[in-house]
Amino acid sequence: MKLEIRGLSFNYNSRPVLKDVKIEVKEGEMVSLLGPNGSGKTTLLRCIDGMLKPKRGGISIDGKDVREMKKNDLAKLLGYVPQRAVNVLPCSVFDAVMIGRRPYVGWGSGKKDREVVFEILKLMGLEDMTLRSFDGISGGEMQKVLIAKALAQEPEILLLDEPTSNLDLRHQLDVLKIIGEIVKEEKVSALMAMHDLNLASRFSDRIVLLKEGKVYDVGDPKSVITPESIRSVYGVEAIVEENDGGRPHVIPLRAI
């Protein structure tokens, strides 16, 4: 399914955060949102998922406006992975993933729902901690559980807010590879806010570079990640080389 964002503007109180943003994510495509802190990445994802109400502009999935959809129907299409989870009253990993079955009828104690959850736990490599308490696992594992929860929604579009920010090197690659496989095999679209330029470059089909709430540039990694754009958007002097897959690889030198 195709996600389309047209002329989206959003203000926190009177401070504009997003200005006339236009993005398209096609079916089976992995798109990374890049940009410095405060450039509006998280706000954009939250607008798409309906947690924030944009001031102007439209968001549509396959031509249907998300604001006209019921919350439950939207939850079957969009899987959202927050940056981190609160865990004051932690439940078990299994129950946390089962929360993703909420949009489907019967509140997910059916056999089908359990099957889906078991399969996703296996896919994410979480099978050994199924019954562990959510606060008894590492930050990286928590991130994986949140992704598993979003996958349990069987969404058409995945929205991920810095899915690798809490992960170690191995888990970063692991998680992005799994997301990439799901995107390709299940024809899911993924839009993720990222901080790591090199991971984004390696795993995304396209990059959206945000600067102060506006789209600075869109395109394949090679055309977007350049020394000029990094200087202009991040204010950092950097060398851009080529990685083993022919994608750009950034070596930051100094802040300007």
Partner 1 sequence: MNIHEIKGEIEERYAKYTARKFGILFALLTSLVILAILVTPLGAASLSIGEVFHAIFSRGSSRADIIIWQLRLPRILMAIICGMGLALSGAVVQGVLHNPLASPFTLGVSSAAFFGGMIGGAFGVGMGLNVGFAFFFGMLALFLIYGISKRRGMTPETVILCGICLMYLFLALTSVAGMMGGAIGMSQILSGFLVSSSWESVLTTAIFLIITFPLLMWCARDLNAMALGDDTATSVGINVNRTRMISMVLATLIVSAIVCFTGVIGFVCLISPFIARSVMGNDHRFIFPSSALIGALLLLERILSQELQFNR
Positions in the binding site for partner 1 (CB under 8 A)? 46, 49-51, 70-76, 78-80, 82, 85-92, 94-96, 99-100, 102-103, 107-108, 114-115, 118-119, 121-122, 127, 130-131, 133-134, 146, 149-150, 153
Minimal distance, residue 134 CB to partner 1, in Å: 8
Minimal distance, residue 135 CB to partner 1, in Å: 9
Q: In one letter, which amino acid is 144?
A: K
Cα–Cα distance measured from residue 198 to residue 12, given in angstroms and rounded to the nearest whole number: 31
User: Quick one: how far is CA 54 from the chain centroid?
Assistant: 19
Q: Which residues of 58-67 are buried (b: 16+ CB within 10 A; e: fewer)?
A: ebbbeeeebe
Which residue lies nearer to partner 1 by CB, 155 or 221?
Answer: 155
Which residue lies nearer to partner 1 by CB, 50 or 139?
Answer: 50
| CB count in 10 Å sphere of residue 129 | 19
Minimal distance, residue 128 CB to partner 1, in Å: 9
Which residue lies nearer to partner 1 by CB, 103 or 221?
Answer: 103
- Cβ(250)–Cβ(243) below 8 Å: no
Helix (H) or strand (E) holding 74: helix 71-77
Which residue lies nearer to partner 1 by CB, 107 or 235?
Answer: 107
Minimal distance, residue 115 CB to partner 1, in Å: 8
> The tokens 């394949």 sit on which residue?
220
| CB count in 10 Å sphere of residue 115 | 10
Minimal distance, residue 118 CB to partner 1, in Å: 5
Which residue lies nearer to partner 1 by CB, 87 or 226?
Answer: 87
